Structure formats: C-alpha cells, structure tokens
Structure 1
C-alpha cells in the first residue's frame, strides 16, 4: 500500500508532534508548524494525534494513490482536487486507487496536512517521525519529498472500498470538524510577557500592543521575521544565551521582532520580549509573508484556559471520529 510523488511541491516533508527531550544535544523539537491541523487530520483518518503526516506548502505536489485509502486534508486551503473532483478540507475522504491528488489554487493559509489511515511507514529518529532538514534525519530520508518518492502506509484500507460509489473517484464521509474557534480573528496573536518585556521602554511597550507588524518575506519554519515599529530597551546590555521555544518573541539588534517557529534553535541570546500562547500557534502558523499581526498581551492563566479548552475539544473529537469509523467498518 503506497502513494507516489509524481511532481514535488515547494516543500513537502513528513512531520508529527515533534522530537522532544533532545534540546540538551542541540536538537530542536521540530514537528508540524500547525500542530492542531496535523492532529485533527490524523483523527479524521482514524489515527492517533501523534501519527506522521505530510506537511505541504503551495505550490503543492501531485500524488498518485496506488491503493484505496482513507485520507484527510486539513489546514490551509490550496483547492485540493482528486483527478477532476474537488476534495473538501477537514473531512474524512475515501479515495480510489490510481487517482491523482493535486492542488489548484492558494485560497488561504500557509500549509496543509495530509493524513492517511494507518499512517506513513517511516522510521523514527530519536523518538519522532518528523523531518529535521539540518540534520538530514527523520521523515523520508531526512529530506523534502522528490519526484518518484514512494511512501508506504501501514494498514490495508481495502475494506473502505465498499464506501466508494460506482463511477466516483472519492467518497466524502458524513462528518466534519468545526474549526472556527481555533482560527477566528486570524491576525490577533496573544502572548504572555517574556523575561525581558519590562526592559522595553514604556513607549516601545505601547508600540508593541498598538501597532500592526508585517511578516517579512524572509520567514520560514525556523522563524517569522516581522517588520513594524522599532522597539527599544531601556539599557542595551548583553545577555547570556538561554533556552527558547516555539513561539518565543525575540528583539533583534535592529529593533525588529522575530517569532521563533517549529524549527527554532534551542538557545538564543536576544531579549525574550514574550511568548506566543500555545493555543494561538495554529493560526500563527497559517499566516504568510505579507500578512499582518496585532499582538495582545494576556496573563498565564488566560493562556492556560484557552489551551485547556482547545485540548478538551480535541479529546471529544478523537472519541467521535473513532466511534464514527467503527460504525462504518463493523
């Protein structure tokens, strides 16, 4: 059971929830940029949240399915098509073998996720399937997918073939996910103050909260560079390098900000102005160069409450997807 990359996209890699516990070795967690979309794709495809998925950027790849499969695509809308039929997002879909998935047009978002029932058959590296491009490890041979690459998946999904109607290349199953709460107000990004927030001049603290910041073209999975108001510290003293995380907001020497993303370094010596709350990392990951960000400062309790609510919804969704799939195959 496999699929083949007929034509590679801009940057397609295998990702999962990340490679934790290796920062002392200088190896970052990595993982999906939008962990919410990746996790939900897995649930809809009947997997656990930690299974490997394909993270896709636009222009997307062309993929040939060599076998009937249950899949799901979530995240950014790149107008996915299966042969000539539109393929809906955030829905479980049964696809027929020998059909081709391609992506027609970028509608919104920055990356999407393809999950397949049973998961991709790749070897873990240091406890994770995620691709680490700098180390050349994890994922599929430690690199982006190329033309001719064949990805096998673990479980025979031939029993889903009975769900395919005669003459149809795909069959959309009859449940979906409501994602409105996770991605609403996409440009408002909440953060908690970092260790050096109080070192900002009062005027700079106000500027951070009152101005829009634009994502710079030189932004990637390692970090989003921002263009906006120049921020200044009360005193320009040197700092000792310390640990940083996905979402850490650092102040660069030129007074501009950078938000560290999934492939961030493990330590940094720039002032840590704040940390994007975990619940807002999904919508941050779906912003593109040229998009604007409006920051809002919240306390730790608010950040924890928002994350708890999001995680509880995922628990409910996991159970619902499991029950629906069991009803279909029993």
Structure 2
C-alpha cells in the first residue's frame, strides 16, 4: 500500500548515536531515520522513528528493530496522513541562538543585534539544532570575531544551505560555493537563499568534489564539510586538494570516538588539527591545510561515501 508510513520503537542514546553516525539498515528504498531524546539527559529514554514512502514489510520492520537491540518493545507501525511528514517533524523546533545567528523554522522575533536565518521545515534536514551544525555556526562566528577573512568558501553537503548562508553573512565579499549530492537539497538551498535574501551562491549537485565546477573554482581558503565520519575520511584527499595552502578546514558530523580516524585521514594529506569543539558525544574539528597545496597520488576513490547524510 502506498503512502507515508512510520515505524517507531524505543532506543538508547548509544543506539541513536550509532544510527546518526550512519549505522543504518541496508534497505531499498532506504527509510529516513529520525532519533529523538524523549527524557532530557536520560541515556535510556530515546525514540527511533523510521519513515517509509510505502508500507514496510516484515523484513523492513525487523531491520529497523535490529537497530535498537536493547529494547524488548515491539515496533509500532502506523500509516500517516497524506501530509509532509518531514515538515511536521521539524515544525515547532525552538529557535536557536548561536553567536550572532538566530536560526528559526517559523515566525519568531529576531533578538536585537542578531542575524536571523529562517530555515523552513521541509524537504531537507539542517535547521541548526543538531550539535554538529550549531558547532559549525559557533566556529564560523568565532573565526569572524577573531578577524579572520576568507575570499573563497565551499560548503560540502550543504543540506538546507544554513552554513553557506552564515558564511555569506560573515564574509559578504567572498565567493561561496555550496554543494550536495542530493538534488533536492540544492533545490531547498536555492529556496532558502531567496527567503533569506542571500545572493550570489554557486550551487552545485556533486558527489564530494567530483564535479568540474567544484574544482574549477578551487582553491578555497575555507572548506566546510558537515556530513558523516565515513565520507569525511573518504574525501580527505579531495578536500585537501581543493584547499589553498594554509586554508581553514571545518569538519563536523563525526562522533568523538571517530575523531582520531578523521584527523589521521587529513593529517596524511598534510593538514594540521587546530581545535576540537566537543559537544556531547559529537566533535567539530578545525584544521589547517598544509603550507603547500596537496597533490593527490592518484584518482579519487568514492568508496566510503555510504551513509552520506544531509546537514543535521
């Protein structure tokens, strides 16, 4: 039966973090997985919702249940009304104030002195509420507060465009490229850019840097990638190759337990880790590219991109 369906079951925070890190089922089509903290600061009281665009069969339900082995509860399955469940899942999120940015999904009064960014609940994730995205906003704001200036910026895996918009506000004269592997995300970014009065972004549908338009605009003096640990490691040579000598590289979407592997991948490409912003179990990394532009030893290998996620 067609339509929107949801499978729900309790999970733990550890299980939720594993899911957020890309440890999902091998299903086709892949459902959208959303984890929610049910009770504040209670590691045992989380919830997993899996959204399907068709009625899930027994094998799909079992695959979702396997993501939360700690629970004895049976998954609940329900058909949703013919409405936009992504919008519903994001609607009502409290506004987020990070540095000089005030991010909101609906009508909200922007505090005096803050820069409002309206990211409508909709077809792509990336409202700034996850630790990885709020950490990137804080890092970008901190760079500007410290007097850093950038002329060429790229946001890899832009999602809703939020980080690209923030960079555009902080460095209005910079040439900014925003990419995503998902064409829908680029459409959403374009819509959000119009809604926020952001002009001049170069939007590209691309798998990492594997597009001539991405490399033609290189080198970049600020490279942003808020995705997942697997793709970050896979793309280390690519991101290092498009970075200008001494460029700043901002990485997020990784758990603290994955930080060593991510840092090692970039260190091998001549980058130097500078700072780590630990936010609960997530980490936001700032690195500096090598003094000379990195030249990869061979062609890029897209292996490892499984589990690519939109901006969270």
- Common fold: TM-score over 0.5: no
Structure with larger RCO (C-alpha < 8 A, sep 6+): 1
Structure 1 length as normaliser, TM-score? 0.27
**Larger helix percent:** 2
Query: Who wins on radius of gyration, i.e. which is larger?
Result: 1
Q: TM-score under structure 2 normalisation?
A: 0.28
